[in-house]
Structure 1
Amino acid sequence: MREVFQSELAEVQSRLVEISRLVAISIDKATRSFNESDVGLAEEAITEDEKIDELTVELDELAITILARQQPVARDLRIVVSALRISASLERMGDLSTHIAQLARYRFPDKAIPKGLRSTFAEMGALDVVIAKMLTELLTSEDMKLAEIIRNEDDKVDALHLSVFEAVLGESWKGLAADTVDATLASRYHERFADHAVSIAKKVQYLGTGAWHQDINA
């Protein structure tokens, strides 16, 4: 029975990695569609989210089945419960990618962001893609150094997010009301995407070390 249980736990980890890999693909397509006004990429990103949602439901059903049948305790219980929480964060990351892609699709053929902020969003998007790829690696390898790197990259996203708000609230801002709304929403989506990655990294650290790392912001 123990061998069966360990095999099921390995399957949970494998599915988390697969969902994370799709999230990384989704945010890459979403941010490129947003920055390049590519409606085709936007549609692909939205389609990826549908796959993410489907796989998340399947993973949650597996985890619930494990809880009911195996009745794990101690660290094994924490692993299964953490997997449920991680899958929820991954699903939300997929949703945020979709929101970014939808902004690109809605504004097509125009770009969603005025010229003065495009380099900021290009940098923010690139950081989100890097974070998503590192998160997949973290879930695969459980290399705790990656959790700290993800936190540091999130700090950069936070700083860019703040700069967007400073720009749209500044006296020199000439954008229309729609531009202000789009910039504010898009910046928030990018920032929350990275925040969810940090939250997952925090849970992986906890499972790996047994200590709750307060320096990583959920």
Structure 2
Amino acid sequence: MRDAYQEQMSALNTVLGQMVEEVGRAMEMATRSLLEADLELAERVISDHDAIAEQSVEAEDLAFKLMALQAPVAGDLRSIVSGFQLVSEIDRMGALALHVAKVARRRHPAHVLPEEVAGYFEEMGRLAVELAHNAHRVLESQDYHDALSLMDDDDAMDDLHRHLFTVMMDREWAHGVSAAVDVTLLGRYYERYADHAVLIARRVVFQATGKTPEQLLEAS
């Protein structure tokens, strides 16, 4: 019985890891489509999103089977409940990459980003992909120390997001309301993407220890 549980839990974690890699790849392509006004890349992100949705269904099915067939208690139950929550976080990351690609497609053949902010989004895209890779590593290792470290990794994303507003509020902004709206929405998409990566880390901390990060810090 215990061996069956471990095998099924391992299968769930494998699917979750694959999902994180997919949403990282999706954000990488979406960012390139945004920076290069590349319609083909944007369309690829949009069409590939169905595969991420299918993986979400697969992961949820695995979690339901664990819940129904293994009668989990204590730590096992905590792991399964965390699995459901992780599916949701990763799925939202994929949806945010999809939103970025759709903005790039909607404005094609024009570039969405004014030159003043393109560099910000290039860096935000790099950070987003790095966070996805780190989230995958944490899911595989189940090391709560790693997870706690990842939670600090979105500070740079928050700084970039704040700086975007200083650029748009500058009197020399000459790109109109439409461009400002696009930049505001896109900045929010990247910020939320990073937030969900951090929430994955929080879930792993709870899954591994039964405590929130704040409780661990208070105890240390």
Question: TM-score, normalised to structure 2's length?
Answer: 0.93
| CA shift in 2, pair 1:20/1:171, >3 Å | same
* Residue 145 of structure 1: how far off its partner (Å): 4.3
- More displaced stretch, 146-155 vs 175-184: 146-155
SS of equivalent residue, structure 1 residue 214 = helix
Contact kept? 2:78, 2:210, Cα under 8 Å: no
* Residue 156 of structure 1: how far off its partner (Å): 0.5
Q: Which residue of 2 aligns with 1:185?
A: 185
Q: Which residue of 2 aligns with 1:155?
A: 155
* Residue 121 of structure 1: how far off its partner (Å): 0.8
Q: Which residue of 2 aligns with 1:83?
A: 83
Q: Does 1:40 align with 2:40?
A: yes
Structural RMSD (CA): 1.6
SS of equivalent residue, structure 2 residue 111 = coil
Gaps of 5+ in 2: none
Deviations 1:40-85 (A, max 9, x none): 1111112222111111011112211221222211010010010000
The one-letter code sitting in structure 2 at the alignment partner of 1:113 is: L
The one-letter code sitting in structure 2 at the alignment partner of 1:9 is: M
Gaps of 5+ in 1: none
| 1:61-140 map, 5 Å | 61-140=61-140
* Matches of 1:88 and 1:72, distance apart in 2: 21
SS of equivalent residue, structure 2 residue 151 = helix
The one-letter code sitting in structure 2 at the alignment partner of 1:38 is: D
Between the two proteins, what is the percent identity of the paired residues? 36
Question: TM-score, normalised to structure 1's length?
Answer: 0.93
RCO higher in 1 or 2 (8 Å CA, sep ≥ 6)? 2
The one-letter code sitting in structure 2 at the alignment partner of 1:126 is: R
Deviations 1:176-197 (A, max 9, x none): 1110110000000000000000
* Matches of 1:49 and 1:77, distance apart in 2: 30
* Matches of 2:104 and 2:149, distance apart in 1: 29
Q: Which residue of 1 aligns with 2:199?
A: 199
The one-letter code sitting in structure 1 at the alignment partner of 2:179 is: D
Q: Which residue of 2 aligns with 1:60?
A: 60
The one-letter code sitting in structure 2 at the alignment partner of 1:103 is: V
Q: Does 1:50 align with 2:50?
A: yes
